[in-house]
């Protein structure tokens, strides 16, 4: 304390005012910091919600089928009458035109009806073959499809013929191919499931076939593994 009371009062007032100003500035900085934190939190929450919505939209507009195979229907070439296999004229991997002799059983020449690719042959010369027993099996490459197997509860109800599709093939990494849903199997795969007392029922599986242009995608071969995506919207 000085000998001048008035001066002491003035000094105390100035000190109190200076402290109040400092406290106010500190409080303002804290408020601004809190507002920034709140704004950042709102932005992060909005991004999370938007990301979740986008993921939901994508998931609801497509169906993934991981178990898929590129294949074409097998065409069995067999004799119409019993006889001994006398000759085989083709090898696996041969491309053959229509009306080409592929084998001789007894006196019968077995010929192709369409052009195609030989995928198997029974070169057991001298063996007796019965009517309908395949000597040579071929495929028509123009009938190649991506055939996916899907559980009935994994989006089968959303798949329709004509929907756009894309697929990748294990042999070619991440390269993406395009196609169109060509067929949805009307019946499930036959299984040897044995029912018991439990009320749980087995999940049935169905085939989905996707058509593509084999003249464009010439690298795709019968038997390759693939993964399918069907765009349902």
Contacts of 172 (CB under 8 A, 6+ apart): 219
Report the relative pairing of strands 62-71 and 145-151 from DSSP bridges: antiparallel
Fold classification of 63-72+142-231 is Elongation Factor Tu (Ef-tu); domain 3 (2.40.30)
Tokens 């499930």 sit on residue? 188
CA 70 to CA 227: how far, in whole Å?
A: 10
Cβ(217)–Cβ(211) below 8 Å: no
pLDDT for res 28: 64
Sorted by where each begins, the domain ranges of the chain are: 1-60, 63-72+142-231, 75-140
Nearest alpha-carbon partner for 189 in 205, 203, 177: 205
**Number of residues assigned to the chain:** 233
pLDDT in tens, 109-143: 999 999 999 999 998 999 999 999 999 999 999 99
Residue 159 structure tokens: 């798949």
pLDDT mean for each 10 residues of the chain (233 residues): 55 62 64 58 53 47 94 96 96 96 97 96 94 96 96 93 96 94 89 55 89 95 96 91
pLDDT of the residue at 32: 59
Cβ-contact 187, 208 below 8 angstroms:
no
Q: Does domain 75-140 have CATH number 3.40.50.20?
A: no
pLDDT, position 56: 41
- Which of 184, 144, 146 has the alpha carbon at shortest distance from 166? 146
Could you tell me which of 231, 68, 71 has the C-alpha nearest to residue 165?
Answer: 231
Q: Say which DSSP state 195 is in.
A: P
């Amino acid at each position: 304390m000085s000998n001048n009371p008035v001066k002491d009062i003035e000094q105390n007032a100035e000190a109190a005012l200076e402290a109040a100003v400092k406290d106010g500035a500190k409080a303002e900085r804290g408020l601004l910091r809190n507002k920034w934190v709140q704004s950042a939190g709102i932005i992060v929450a909005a991004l999370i919600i938007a990301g979740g919505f986008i993921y939901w939209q994508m998931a609801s507009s497509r169906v993934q089928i991981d178990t898929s195979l590129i294949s074409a229907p097998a065409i069995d070439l067999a004799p119409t009458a019993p006889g001994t296999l006398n000759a085989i004229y083709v090898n696996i991997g041969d491309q053959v035109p229509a009306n080409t002799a592929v084998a001789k059983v007894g006196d019968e020449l077995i010929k192709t009806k369409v052009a195609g690719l030989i995928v198997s042959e029974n070169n057991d010369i001298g063996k007796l073959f019965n009517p309908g027993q395949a000597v040579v099996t071929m495929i028509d490459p123009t009938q190649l499809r991506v055939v996916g197997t899907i559980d009935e509860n994994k989006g089968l109800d959303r798949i329709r013929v004509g929907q756009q599709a894309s697929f990748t093939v294990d042999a070619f990494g991440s390269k993406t191919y395009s196609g169109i849903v060509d067929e949805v199997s009307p019946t499930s795969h036959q299984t040897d499931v044995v029912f018991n007392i439990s009320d749980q029922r087995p999940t049935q599986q169905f085939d989905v076939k996707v058509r593509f242009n084999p003249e464009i995608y010439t690298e795709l071969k019968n038997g390759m593994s693939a993964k399918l995506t069907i765009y349902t919207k």
